[in-house]
Amino acid sequence: MPSMSDAKQNAEKAACTELRYDITYTDLPLSCPPRDTRVWDAHPRVYLPIEELGKVVCPYCGAQYVLKDFIPTNEK
């Protein structure tokens, strides 16, 4: 699966073209489209609350984001 770091390395890649992104805590706060992708042809930027469940789906494009090494809040 592509990671947010992969997206950062390829800034020319169109926004919202992946179906799933694996992200890390260093990528927070999470926004879709990802910060370092083209956004002129994508939907408005929306910040997604991934910290509670460890995964979230963008309401605009359906991209799935999964937080690597997720620790549920009640286990911290």
| SS3 of residue 45 by DSSP | coil
Tens of pLDDT, residues 30-55: 999 887 777 777 889 899 999 989 99
- The answer to pTM > 0.75 is no
End-to-end Cα distance, the chain: 27
76: CB partners within 8 A, 6+ apart: none
Tallying the residues shown for the chain, one arrives at 76
Confidence of residue 62 (pLDDT cuts 50, 70, 90): very high
pLDDT of res. 7 = 47
pLDDT of res. 3 = 58
| SS3 of residue 73 by DSSP | helix
Residue 40 has which token pair?
């002129």
Between CA 43 and CA 46 the distance in angstroms is 9
